[in-house]
Structure 1
Amino acid sequence: MSSPSATLTVWAGSWVAGRSAPDDVLDALRVWATRQSVAAGDPVTGGHTGLPWADDESTETAPGAGIMVLLKLIREATTSPEAQVRLVLPIPGDVRGLPVGTEFAAAATEAGEGLYVGAPGTRGTGLVPVWTDDDALQWRVYATPIPFATESEMPLGEAEYTMRQAVRDAADALQQLHTTRVDSNGPSPRDLIEDELAAYSQHGYPDSLPLRARRILDTADQVAAILTVAERAPASAPVSGTAIAAQESLLRPLWNAIRAARLAAVHARD
């Protein structure tokens, strides 16, 4: 699994649907960090929920409530039959799926991830994971309007085909950016890719996630591992604006394809 938000989205969705137990959700989250807490992302939400407010401008990080509070918040936000648990993977310049101009949208864009829980067209709950330490994760809670979907997600068949093609394109990009080895005694790109994949493989999927969706997520992780290595100090390290732009033009479309495929797979249902 690629992010804490993706993990919580698939496991919470499975739990809400009655296909996983609460402990399954918590166990899946603990793979990311043994120390996790929950805090309000803004003072208004803090007032409504009674959670401590995580003020990033303060000299001290709010200790937050225990991780069990997440389950309570998700359960309260999914009492309506129309309620959804939706992953968002925004980047600057592409914030589709977010309620624009909200505290939740700003926090999710800064983190590059988040999820919201509730029925479209109503006020629900937004969650954004923030690393407060190398091994400590805090879930920031926001009261937020839940938007209606503005466009259909990529069909699973298209997502699977796109990711298969992306594996080849990513390998080609890696070869172009790493034409020679900087340190012949250092790890090879293949070893670095295997290390990245090992980190992804620690995170499991609920049984309720369709098999095709799992294949898409696994392939997306493979592409992401290749791209991460391609971005990491290539042998022909770009030093000019032109070289940096060339690297961006090679990799950015592939990262965008990964985002679209992951969203389609995470939201897939049997």
Structure 2
Amino acid sequence: MWSSAWLHGAAASDNVLDALLPWGEAHEVVAADDATGAALDLPVTGGPPARPAQLLGTLRRLGVTIARLVLPVPGDVRGLGGGGEFPKAALAAGEAVVLPCAGYGVVPHHIAEGLVRWTVHPLATSGPVLPQDVGLDHVSLAEAEHGLTDAIRDSAGALQSLDVASERPSVRAELSAHLRARPEPAWPDGTPPRALRVLQRAEEIGAILDVATAEEPGGALSASAAERRADALRPLSEAVRTARCAAINETVRVFGDQANRA
């Protein structure tokens, strides 16, 4: 969202760099291979890294106007553009940014306390591609919001039968602590209010999922019970991922449309 706001003139570069701080005090950028490093004038993994400001300049030089958030999980790697190392790295991280028209993807990785490394990979498809070519389906905010509501309703009975709260009396305190510990990022001026609402709701449900799937004290949860819990929570988890991507990607679209009208 911030890089898109900057690329379209809706945010200053200092604001973009400051927006990274909730996720880590320091950020560095490297290229995954020599060819990518040469094409983008970025250092390769293993050498002295670049700073995020250099990556922003590279995006501007490439003429990037589209960025997409992807949150892959095993069994759902849509948006990663086929084979190569990028899908593997993105799946291991559980998140990535795809720059479809430039033909690159960027994967964050927490390599130490307070330090995040962003690695730029080439997409498997050679040359610039369209978003649909890498499986980036458009999901509207309305669809995403309804999907969250439906998933909560459909999972309600199963969640009740799991009865996490009665098994763990401290679950409310755990949830409150979990929400307090999560990053609280600022968002660019001009971010659509509905996108922020969807993000907030997805964040709250995501925190509930994290607490619900946490290992019980002493590892008391049996394998069969853990499997039932995972099955019950999977639709809700998928709805949260879809909602987060829809909110971010809709905001990217709005910033692009505002720039085009200007």
TM-score (norm 1): 0.80
How is 1:1-270 mapped onto 2 (pairs within 5 angstroms)?
10-54=1-45, 62-78=47-63, 83-119=65-101, 123-144=102-123, 145=125, 146-149=129-132, 150=135, 152-166=137-151, 169=155, 173=159, 176-178=162-164, 180-181=166-167, 188-200=170-182, 202-234=184-216, 237-240=220-223, 242-268=224-250, 269-270=253-254
Deviations 1:101-143, CA, capped at 9 Å, x for gaps: 1222221122111112252xxx433211111112110110123
CA contact (8 A) 2:27 2:51 kept: yes
Taking the aligned partners of 2:182 and 2:166, their CA distance within structure 1 comes to: 27
Figure out how many residues of one structure are paired with residues of the other and give that number: 244
Name whichever of 245-254 and 217-226 sits farther off.
245-254
Taking the aligned partners of 1:47 and 1:24, their CA distance within structure 2 comes to: 28
Taking the aligned partners of 1:114 and 1:177, their CA distance within structure 2 comes to: 34
Taking the aligned partners of 1:127 and 1:253, their CA distance within structure 2 comes to: 27
Taking the aligned partners of 2:139 and 2:40, their CA distance within structure 1 comes to: 35
* Cα pair distance change 1:109/1:190, threshold 3 Å: same
Taking the aligned partners of 1:227 and 1:170, their CA distance within structure 2 comes to: 13
Note the C-alpha offset of 1:165.
4.8
Task: Read off the aligned partner of 1:103 and give its amino acid letter.
Answer: E
Aligned to 1:208, the other structure's residue is in SS state coil
* Cα pair distance change 1:172/1:153, threshold 3 Å: same
Note the C-alpha offset of 1:170.
6.8
CA contact (8 A) 2:96 2:106 kept: yes
Taking the aligned partners of 2:156 and 2:50, their CA distance within structure 1 comes to: 41
Name whichever of 90-99 and 191-200 sits farther off.
191-200
TM-score (norm 2): 0.83
Note the C-alpha offset of 1:175.
7.1
Aligned to 2:67, the other structure's residue is in SS state strand
Taking the aligned partners of 2:204 and 2:157, their CA distance within structure 1 comes to: 10
Taking the aligned partners of 1:41 and 1:213, their CA distance within structure 2 comes to: 32
Gaps of 5+ in 1: 1-9, 56-61
Task: Read off the aligned partner of 2:99 and give its amino acid letter.
Answer: V
Gaps of 5+ in 2: 255-262
Task: Read off the aligned partner of 2:113 and give its amino acid letter.
Answer: D
Note the C-alpha offset of 1:227.
0.5
Moved >6 Å (runs of 4+): none
Note the C-alpha offset of 1:148.
3.2
Aligned to 2:108, the other structure's residue is in SS state strand
| Residue in 1 that maps onto 2:257 | none
* Cα pair distance change 1:198/1:102, threshold 3 Å: same
Note the C-alpha offset of 1:89.
1.1
| Residue in 2 that maps onto 1:58 | none
CA contact (8 A) 2:151 2:235 kept: no
Taking the aligned partners of 1:177 and 1:54, their CA distance within structure 2 comes to: 46
Taking the aligned partners of 2:12 and 2:162, their CA distance within structure 1 comes to: 46
CA contact (8 A) 1:36 1:137 kept: yes
Taking the aligned partners of 2:212 and 2:157, their CA distance within structure 1 comes to: 9
Note the C-alpha offset of 1:226.
0.4
The structure carrying a bigger helix percent of its residues is 2
